[in-house]
Amino acid sequence: MKPKSLLYRGLQYFILVTGIVGILFPIYITIVTAMKTPEESTASFFALPKSFYLDNFQAIISKAGFSNYILNSIVITTFSILGIAILLPMVSYAISRNIKKKYYKFLFIYFTLGIFIPFQVIMIPVTKLMTRLSLLNQGGLILLYITFSAIQGVFLYVGYMRTIPYELEEAAYMDGCTILQSYVKIFLPLLKPMTATVLITNALWVWNDFLLPLLILNRSNKYWTIQLFQYNFKSQYSFDYNLAFASFFLSMIPIVVVYAIAQKSMISGLTSGAVKG
Protein backbone atom coordinates (compact mmCIF):
# COMPACT_ATOMS: atom_id res chain seq x y z
CA MET A 1 0.00 0.00 0.00
CA LYS A 2 1.27 3.45 -0.92
CA PRO A 3 2.44 5.82 1.87
CA LYS A 4 -0.23 8.35 0.89
CA SER A 5 -2.95 5.69 1.19
CA LEU A 6 -1.63 4.63 4.60
CA LEU A 7 -1.57 8.23 5.76
CA TYR A 8 -5.09 8.82 4.48
CA ARG A 9 -6.42 5.67 6.16
CA GLY A 10 -4.64 6.55 9.39
CA LEU A 11 -6.22 9.99 9.33
CA GLN A 12 -9.63 8.41 8.77
CA TYR A 13 -9.22 6.10 11.76
CA PHE A 14 -7.97 8.97 13.91
CA ILE A 15 -11.02 11.09 13.09
CA LEU A 16 -13.31 8.09 13.66
CA VAL A 17 -11.80 7.24 17.05
CA THR A 18 -11.86 10.90 18.09
CA GLY A 19 -15.54 11.11 17.17
CA ILE A 20 -16.37 7.93 19.08
CA VAL A 21 -14.55 9.17 22.18
CA GLY A 22 -16.26 12.55 21.90
CA ILE A 23 -19.67 10.83 21.85
CA LEU A 24 -19.07 8.12 24.44
CA PHE A 25 -17.15 10.15 27.04
CA PRO A 26 -20.10 12.42 28.03
CA ILE A 27 -22.33 9.31 28.22
CA TYR A 28 -19.77 7.62 30.47
CA ILE A 29 -19.59 10.67 32.76
CA THR A 30 -23.39 10.83 32.95
CA ILE A 31 -23.80 7.17 33.88
CA VAL A 32 -20.97 6.88 36.43
CA THR A 33 -21.83 10.18 38.15
CA ALA A 34 -25.49 9.20 38.41
CA MET A 35 -24.47 6.00 40.20
CA LYS A 36 -22.06 7.56 42.71
CA THR A 37 -22.53 8.95 46.17
CA PRO A 38 -21.51 12.61 46.71
CA GLU A 39 -18.44 11.39 48.59
CA GLU A 40 -17.30 9.26 45.64
CA SER A 41 -17.77 12.15 43.21
CA THR A 42 -15.75 14.43 45.45
CA ALA A 43 -12.94 11.87 45.72
CA SER A 44 -12.71 11.20 41.97
CA PHE A 45 -15.10 12.62 39.39
CA PHE A 46 -13.97 10.32 36.54
CA ALA A 47 -13.52 7.01 38.41
CA LEU A 48 -16.02 4.19 38.22
CA PRO A 49 -18.49 3.88 41.12
CA LYS A 50 -17.66 1.36 43.84
CA SER A 51 -21.21 0.00 43.66
CA PHE A 52 -24.42 0.60 41.77
CA TYR A 53 -25.84 3.36 43.97
CA LEU A 54 -29.47 3.83 42.85
CA ASP A 55 -30.69 6.21 45.54
CA ASN A 56 -30.08 9.17 43.21
CA PHE A 57 -32.67 7.82 40.77
CA GLN A 58 -35.12 7.13 43.56
CA ALA A 59 -34.73 10.68 44.89
CA ILE A 60 -35.34 12.18 41.46
CA ILE A 61 -38.42 10.11 40.71
CA SER A 62 -40.08 10.34 44.14
CA LYS A 63 -39.24 13.83 45.40
CA ALA A 64 -38.59 16.17 42.49
CA GLY A 65 -41.80 15.84 40.47
CA PHE A 66 -39.67 14.32 37.74
CA SER A 67 -42.46 12.10 36.39
CA ASN A 68 -44.64 15.17 35.76
CA TYR A 69 -41.91 16.87 33.72
CA ILE A 70 -41.27 13.68 31.75
CA LEU A 71 -45.01 13.44 31.05
CA ASN A 72 -45.07 17.06 29.86
CA SER A 73 -42.21 16.35 27.45
CA ILE A 74 -43.92 13.19 26.18
CA VAL A 75 -47.23 15.00 25.58
CA ILE A 76 -45.59 17.93 23.78
CA THR A 77 -43.39 15.69 21.64
CA THR A 78 -46.23 13.29 20.76
CA PHE A 79 -48.74 15.95 19.68
CA SER A 80 -46.07 17.93 17.83
CA ILE A 81 -45.07 14.86 15.84
CA LEU A 82 -48.70 13.99 15.10
CA GLY A 83 -49.29 17.50 13.76
CA ILE A 84 -46.13 17.35 11.67
CA ALA A 85 -47.05 13.91 10.27
CA ILE A 86 -50.52 15.08 9.21
CA LEU A 87 -49.94 18.64 7.97
CA LEU A 88 -46.49 18.71 6.35
CA PRO A 89 -47.13 16.01 3.70
CA MET A 90 -50.43 17.70 2.76
CA VAL A 91 -48.86 21.11 2.31
CA SER A 92 -45.91 19.64 0.42
CA TYR A 93 -48.20 17.61 -1.86
CA ALA A 94 -50.11 20.71 -2.91
CA ILE A 95 -46.90 22.63 -3.59
CA SER A 96 -45.07 19.83 -5.42
CA ARG A 97 -47.97 19.15 -7.81
CA ASN A 98 -48.52 22.85 -8.57
CA ILE A 99 -44.96 24.16 -8.38
CA LYS A 100 -45.20 25.81 -11.82
CA LYS A 101 -47.99 28.12 -10.64
CA LYS A 102 -46.81 31.45 -9.24
CA TYR A 103 -48.72 31.17 -5.95
CA TYR A 104 -47.35 27.75 -5.07
CA LYS A 105 -43.85 28.67 -6.22
CA PHE A 106 -44.03 31.71 -3.91
CA LEU A 107 -45.13 29.47 -1.02
CA PHE A 108 -42.22 27.13 -1.60
CA ILE A 109 -39.72 29.99 -1.72
CA TYR A 110 -41.36 31.50 1.38
CA PHE A 111 -40.87 28.28 3.34
CA THR A 112 -37.34 27.83 2.04
CA LEU A 113 -36.25 31.33 3.03
CA GLY A 114 -37.02 30.44 6.64
CA ILE A 115 -33.97 28.15 6.64
CA PHE A 116 -31.71 31.21 6.40
CA ILE A 117 -33.29 33.15 9.29
CA PRO A 118 -31.73 32.42 12.72
CA PHE A 119 -34.26 31.82 15.47
CA GLN A 120 -32.59 34.48 17.63
CA VAL A 121 -33.75 37.12 15.12
CA ILE A 122 -37.45 36.26 15.56
CA MET A 123 -37.29 35.08 19.18
CA ILE A 124 -38.63 38.28 20.78
CA PRO A 125 -41.38 38.95 18.18
CA VAL A 126 -42.59 35.34 18.47
CA THR A 127 -42.73 35.58 22.26
CA LYS A 128 -44.67 38.86 22.09
CA LEU A 129 -47.11 37.38 19.58
CA MET A 130 -47.73 34.29 21.68
CA THR A 131 -48.26 36.49 24.74
CA ARG A 132 -50.88 38.60 22.97
CA LEU A 133 -52.65 35.44 21.75
CA SER A 134 -52.60 33.99 25.31
CA LEU A 135 -50.70 30.95 24.02
CA LEU A 136 -47.94 30.79 26.63
CA ASN A 137 -48.86 27.18 27.33
CA GLN A 138 -48.29 23.69 26.01
CA GLY A 139 -50.76 24.14 23.15
CA GLY A 140 -48.95 27.25 21.98
CA LEU A 141 -45.61 25.49 22.16
CA ILE A 142 -46.93 22.59 20.05
CA LEU A 143 -48.19 25.07 17.42
CA LEU A 144 -44.74 26.66 17.28
CA TYR A 145 -43.03 23.31 16.86
CA ILE A 146 -45.32 22.39 13.97
CA THR A 147 -44.79 25.81 12.38
CA PHE A 148 -41.00 25.79 12.63
CA SER A 149 -40.75 22.17 11.49
CA ALA A 150 -42.48 23.17 8.23
CA ILE A 151 -39.46 25.24 7.19
CA GLN A 152 -37.17 22.27 6.64
CA GLY A 153 -39.88 19.62 6.36
CA VAL A 154 -41.64 21.17 3.37
CA PHE A 155 -38.30 21.66 1.63
CA LEU A 156 -37.45 17.95 2.05
CA TYR A 157 -40.92 16.66 1.20
CA VAL A 158 -41.32 18.77 -1.94
CA GLY A 159 -37.93 17.69 -3.25
CA TYR A 160 -38.82 14.05 -2.61
CA MET A 161 -42.34 14.27 -4.06
CA ARG A 162 -41.16 15.85 -7.29
CA THR A 163 -39.25 12.65 -8.03
CA ILE A 164 -42.49 10.62 -7.95
CA PRO A 165 -43.76 10.21 -11.54
CA TYR A 166 -47.01 11.98 -12.49
CA GLU A 167 -48.02 8.83 -14.38
CA LEU A 168 -48.88 7.13 -11.10
CA GLU A 169 -51.48 9.79 -10.34
CA GLU A 170 -52.82 9.77 -13.89
CA ALA A 171 -53.32 6.01 -13.69
CA ALA A 172 -55.12 6.44 -10.38
CA TYR A 173 -57.41 9.13 -11.83
CA MET A 174 -58.23 6.86 -14.78
CA ASP A 175 -59.24 4.18 -12.28
CA GLY A 176 -61.67 6.62 -10.67
CA CYS A 177 -59.61 7.93 -7.73
CA THR A 178 -60.16 11.42 -6.44
CA ILE A 179 -57.26 13.70 -5.47
CA LEU A 180 -57.68 12.72 -1.82
CA GLN A 181 -57.74 9.00 -2.65
CA SER A 182 -54.69 9.40 -4.86
CA TYR A 183 -52.87 11.18 -2.04
CA VAL A 184 -53.78 8.57 0.57
CA LYS A 185 -53.35 5.44 -1.56
CA ILE A 186 -50.46 6.45 -3.84
CA PHE A 187 -48.41 9.16 -2.16
CA LEU A 188 -48.47 8.34 1.54
CA PRO A 189 -47.10 4.79 1.11
CA LEU A 190 -44.31 6.11 -1.12
CA LEU A 191 -43.47 8.80 1.45
CA LYS A 192 -42.79 6.39 4.31
CA PRO A 193 -38.96 6.66 4.18
CA MET A 194 -39.00 10.46 4.05
CA THR A 195 -41.75 10.65 6.66
CA ALA A 196 -39.67 8.50 9.02
CA THR A 197 -36.67 10.81 8.50
CA VAL A 198 -38.67 13.99 9.12
CA LEU A 199 -40.47 12.61 12.17
CA ILE A 200 -37.35 11.21 13.84
CA THR A 201 -35.27 14.35 13.36
CA ASN A 202 -38.11 16.52 14.65
CA ALA A 203 -38.79 14.19 17.58
CA LEU A 204 -35.14 14.51 18.61
CA TRP A 205 -35.36 18.29 18.28
CA VAL A 206 -38.63 18.69 20.20
CA TRP A 207 -37.59 16.37 23.03
CA ASN A 208 -34.18 18.01 23.50
CA ASP A 209 -35.21 21.60 22.80
CA PHE A 210 -34.58 24.12 25.55
CA LEU A 211 -35.03 27.63 24.15
CA LEU A 212 -38.68 27.49 23.04
CA PRO A 213 -39.91 25.92 26.32
CA LEU A 214 -37.89 28.53 28.22
CA LEU A 215 -39.69 31.34 26.35
CA ILE A 216 -43.18 29.84 26.36
CA LEU A 217 -43.51 27.68 29.49
CA ASN A 218 -41.28 29.22 32.13
CA ARG A 219 -44.07 31.16 33.86
CA SER A 220 -45.13 28.15 35.95
CA ASN A 221 -43.15 25.07 36.90
CA LYS A 222 -46.16 22.78 36.41
CA TYR A 223 -45.76 23.25 32.63
CA TRP A 224 -42.00 22.60 32.59
CA THR A 225 -40.48 20.08 30.22
CA ILE A 226 -37.62 17.90 31.41
CA GLN A 227 -35.11 20.38 29.95
CA LEU A 228 -36.53 23.27 31.97
CA PHE A 229 -36.48 21.11 35.08
CA GLN A 230 -32.79 20.40 34.51
CA TYR A 231 -32.07 24.07 33.82
CA ASN A 232 -33.61 25.09 37.16
CA PHE A 233 -32.11 22.11 38.93
CA LYS A 234 -29.08 23.79 40.44
CA SER A 235 -31.08 26.39 42.34
CA GLN A 236 -33.33 23.72 43.84
CA TYR A 237 -30.66 21.22 44.84
CA SER A 238 -27.59 23.37 45.44
CA PHE A 239 -25.44 21.92 42.68
CA ASP A 240 -26.00 18.28 43.62
CA TYR A 241 -24.24 16.82 40.58
CA ASN A 242 -25.23 13.24 41.39
CA LEU A 243 -28.94 14.04 41.32
CA ALA A 244 -28.48 16.25 38.27
CA PHE A 245 -26.72 13.54 36.27
CA ALA A 246 -29.31 10.99 37.40
CA SER A 247 -31.98 13.21 35.86
CA PHE A 248 -29.89 13.57 32.68
CA PHE A 249 -29.58 9.80 32.41
CA LEU A 250 -33.31 9.18 32.91
CA SER A 251 -34.26 11.83 30.36
CA MET A 252 -31.97 10.21 27.77
CA ILE A 253 -33.67 6.81 27.93
CA PRO A 254 -36.97 7.48 26.05
CA ILE A 255 -35.46 9.27 23.07
CA VAL A 256 -32.55 6.81 22.81
CA VAL A 257 -35.03 3.93 22.68
CA VAL A 258 -37.08 5.66 19.99
CA TYR A 259 -33.99 6.41 17.92
CA ALA A 260 -32.65 2.86 18.28
CA ILE A 261 -35.94 1.43 17.03
CA ALA A 262 -36.39 3.86 14.15
CA GLN A 263 -32.82 4.47 12.97
CA LYS A 264 -33.11 2.02 10.06
CA SER A 265 -36.13 3.89 8.72
CA MET A 266 -34.28 7.19 9.07
CA ILE A 267 -31.25 5.92 7.18
CA SER A 268 -33.55 4.45 4.52
CA GLY A 269 -35.23 7.84 4.07
CA LEU A 270 -31.92 9.65 3.71
CA THR A 271 -30.55 7.18 1.17
CA SER A 272 -33.83 7.01 -0.78
CA GLY A 273 -33.93 10.78 -1.02
CA ALA A 274 -30.35 10.81 -2.26
CA VAL A 275 -30.65 8.25 -5.06
CA LYS A 276 -34.30 8.40 -6.10
CA GLY A 277 -34.72 9.84 -9.53
Query: Which pLDDT score is estimated for 2?
Result: 63
Query: Which pLDDT score is estimated for 269?
Result: 55
Query: Which pLDDT score is estimated for 270?
Result: 54
Asked if residue 258 lies in contact with residue 202, where contact means CB atoms within 8 angstroms, the answer is: no
Query: Which pLDDT score is estimated for 159?
Result: 87
- Global pTM? 0.82
- What structural domains and CATH numbers belong to the chain? 64-239+249-275 (1.10.3720.10)
One digit per residue, the tens of pLDDT, for the chain of length 277 reads 566 677 888 888 899 999 999 988 988 888 888 888 888 887 887 888 887 788 888 888 876 677 888 899 999 999 999 999 999 999 999 999 888 899 999 999 999 888 888 888 899 999 999 999 999 999 999 999 999 999 999 998 998 888 888 888 888 888 888 888 888 888 888 888 888 889 988 998 999 999 999 999 988 888 889 888 888 766 554 567 788 888 888 888 887 887 777 666 666 555 554 444 4
Query: Which pLDDT score is estimated for 53?
Result: 82
Query: Which pLDDT score is estimated for 104?
Result: 92
CA angle 113, 116, 122 (to 5 degrees): 95
Query: Which pLDDT score is estimated for 79?
Result: 96
Query: Which pLDDT score is estimated for 145?
Result: 96
Query: Which pLDDT score is estimated for 265?
Result: 63
Query: Which pLDDT score is estimated for 235?
Result: 52
Burial bucket for residue 87 (CB in 10 Å: 0-12, 13-18, 19+) = middle
Query: Which pLDDT score is estimated for 271?
Result: 53
Query: Which pLDDT score is estimated for 275?
Result: 43
